[in-house]
Amino acid sequence: MINKEQIENLKKEMSGKTPEEILAWGVGFFTPEKIALSSSLGTEDQVLTDMILKINPKARIFTIDTGRLPQATYDTIAETMEKYSILYEILFPESKDVEEIEIVHGPNMFYKSIENRKLCCEIRKIRPLRKYLSKLDAWICGLRREQSVTRTGIEKIEWDENFGLVKINPLADWSDSDVWNYIRKNHVPYNKLHDFGYPSIGCSPCTRAVKPGEHPRSGRWWWEEPDKKECGLHVVDGKIVRK
């Protein structure tokens, strides 16, 4: 297991490296079964999927199936599996937990209150993720500094206090154009909802298209105040940020 002093040194060492160099380092440094790429099938995750599989075709890649994903996301999973001949590790929430919240609060509980929405995210995303990450030493994420004001401080390598393991953000200094240029140049599959005004895609009932000029993330949990929008997957500088 890596210690905090090593993390500080690695932050400096990795700051000028390319995403491919960082991924190659991560894949070589950690035991193969102790490092995995987290994918929500977003554009950044698709870039990292293409990159990591070129480095190690057997790299572990996981995704969370909350049970409420849009059909276009399932189509992207299927297309990606076929293109790269891979199997995702798919995390599901505990069925008894989902049964409990739906029986008590109904299938559209997230619209009724922030507490209900957070409970739904906790049951469908955070619990399966926490259980999965507890067996890893490092996870790889597609976070970029440009995505929101809460992400400006992310490092390419950092210690994830929330889940207790190393977090690797190879695309930290990439722009949205960098991501799309890579996707087009390398013919990487992407979620077709992006072609219909959905820059950020999560669960179907909690995602809608945005109008030109609106913040790319304004279509996520659009009924909530901006400072309440989070699901607990990522903590940056002590603040929870959206994914």
**Nearer CB in complex with ligand SF4: 91/206:** 206
Chain-centroid distance of CA 214 in Å reads: 22
Q: How far is the CB of 186 from ligand SF4 (least distance, A)?
A: 29
CA quadruple 128, 162, 52, 25: dihedral positive or negative? negative
Residue among 134, 122, 136 at smallest CA distance from 94: 122
CA quadruple 115, 118, 120, 122: dihedral positive or negative? negative
Q: Would you tell me which residues interact with ligand SF4 (CB under 6 A)?
A: 66, 68, 110, 117, 120-121, 124-125, 202-203, 205-206, 231
From the number of C-beta atoms within 10 Å of its C-beta (0-12, 13-18, 19+), residue 201 rates as: buried
**Nearer CB in complex with ligand SF4: 81/98:** 98
Angle between the 176-185 and 43-55 helix axes, to the nearest 10 degrees?
50
**Nearer CB in complex with ligand SF4: 17/127:** 127
Residues labelled catalytic:
231
**Nearer CB in complex with ligand SF4: 24/120:** 120
Spatial contact of 148 and 220, defined as CB atoms under 8 Å apart: no
Q: How far is the CB of 176 from ligand SF4 (least distance, A)?
A: 22
Q: How far is the CB of 211 from ligand SF4 (least distance, A)?
A: 21
**Nearer CB in complex with ligand SF4: 25/110:** 110
- The closest residue (CB) to ligand SF4 is 203
Q: How far is the CB of 201 from ligand SF4 (least distance, A)?
A: 11
Angle between the 43-55 and 19-29 helix axes, to the nearest 10 degrees?
60
Spatial contact of 48 and 37, defined as CB atoms under 8 Å apart: yes
Q: How far is the CB of 15 from ligand SF4 (least distance, A)?
A: 33
Spatial contact of 38 and 91, defined as CB atoms under 8 Å apart: no
